[in-house]
Chain A
């Protein structure tokens, strides 16, 4: 068993701590970095609740070892809203569209949409909806998520829908 000193940038701040090789990125973000907004729903890559942005791409936090994120730029749901509490456009769209109920799957949904609407990687409506098929929501029947995704696809990159 190997223990590693792992450093990465989490939500813009440098984080350094130790973890065993077997610790997943999602467990590391929750346990070591205190990012409890990273939710663990299935730990086998299907539900999408643990989705975070690593070096600009939305990935499953449970399907990456923390040690693999050495040197990476990681963004979690805690890192999106402005310091004054202003919601990120993705968060605002989901808020406006009643896209969540229990909110457990929500951080993952937020991160995929945030990655795909970031300036420079703006996806179209069909791509956004296709990417949403990588998230399981047991509460909403996806109605608000679909509305929010369409709204975000229609808005210019990085702008409020």
Chain B
């Protein structure tokens, strides 16, 4: 389990990184936290000609306030996100999600942007970005572009990111103080990818759901936004919400699969349960009739 040979570049600016990526013409792999890439290199599943290490690009690090949003530099480490008072205030559900990524030791290296750019369908952060309507900032020598997280994921480990592009930051739009956070994952051990997971937020105004962002992870080839469930929730008074019915609707949006760890039908069944359970714990939803 030793990697195949590769060249190594450690640019210090985004421009240098983009130039190196463009020059490699698809033969390069970006190294962010490396907590997924290094196993693949060690297993020789990934055999790039060049590894471009982003860890010395200072401009990619840090958490800052933007216009009605929080901007997280792609190379912000997961441990930094957990320790961030700014995130704890603005995006408590993101902090909760990050705490479920891997283990303490991998979060000390792993980055927020790395996880979001990779697109593991059972991972917490891509789903959080999709649920919270995050905007992904992307750059290449061809210029800058932005994409909604909801449009970014195409399949397992497949995104709209072109070989010459890199993710520079993720912008999470503000959610008002006091919004309801929803997070639950079912995994066999801490640090494992979820068998089923859901993440999201709700805003309640005048006793009714005024805004909803909910997404599944581990329930299909990509993170899956629970749009139909959101539609059922919007405008509803909390006490009128039938958690089980919403959960059933939410599961209908998914396309889970069988794998080594659980069956698709398990995921559907448990997905509905934990969705309903999470709603009921978040506010006094109606019990099933």
Contact = CB atoms under 8 A, between A and B. Distances in A.
Contacts, number: 96
A60 B3 CA distance: 16
Interface string B106-126: 101100000000000000000
A144 interface: no
Interface string B37-66: 011011100000001010100000000000
Contacts of B51: 21, 65
Contact of A134 (B1, B3, B191): B191
A59 B39 contact: no
Interface residues on B, range: 20 to 34
Q: Would you call the interface of chain B mostly helix, strand, loop, or mixed?
A: loop
Nearest to A112: B105
Interface residues of A, number: 30
B6 A133 contact: no
A65 B8 contact: yes
Interface in B77-102: 79, 102
A48 B6 CA distance: 25
Contacts of A21: 5-8, 51
Contacts of B2: 22, 27
Given A112-B104, A133-B189, A133-B190, A24 B42 contact: yes
Contact of B34 (A20, A43, A51, A65): A65
Contacts of B53: 65, 67-68
A45 B51 CA distance: 19
A48 B105 contact: yes
Contacts of B39: 43-45, 63
A64 B104 contact: no
A24 B109 CA distance: 14
Interface in A11-53: 20-22, 24, 27, 43-45, 48, 51
B105 A43 contact: no
Given A43-B42, A44-B39, A64-B34, A134 B105 contact: yes
Given A59-B108, A60-B35, A44 B43 contact: yes
A86 interface: no
B144 interface: no
B42 A62 contact: yes
A131 B6 contact: no
Nearest to B51: A21
B266 to A, nearest CB: 23
Nearest to B49: A1
Nearest to B110: A63
B10 to A, nearest CB: 8
B262 interface: no
12 contacts: A21-B5, A43-B42, A44-B39, A45-B39, A57-B79, A59-B105, A59-B108, A63-B35, A63-B38, A67-B10, A68-B53, A112-B105
Interface of B: 1-8, 10, 31, 34-35, 38-39, 41-43, 51, 53, 55, 79, 102-106, 108-109, 189-191
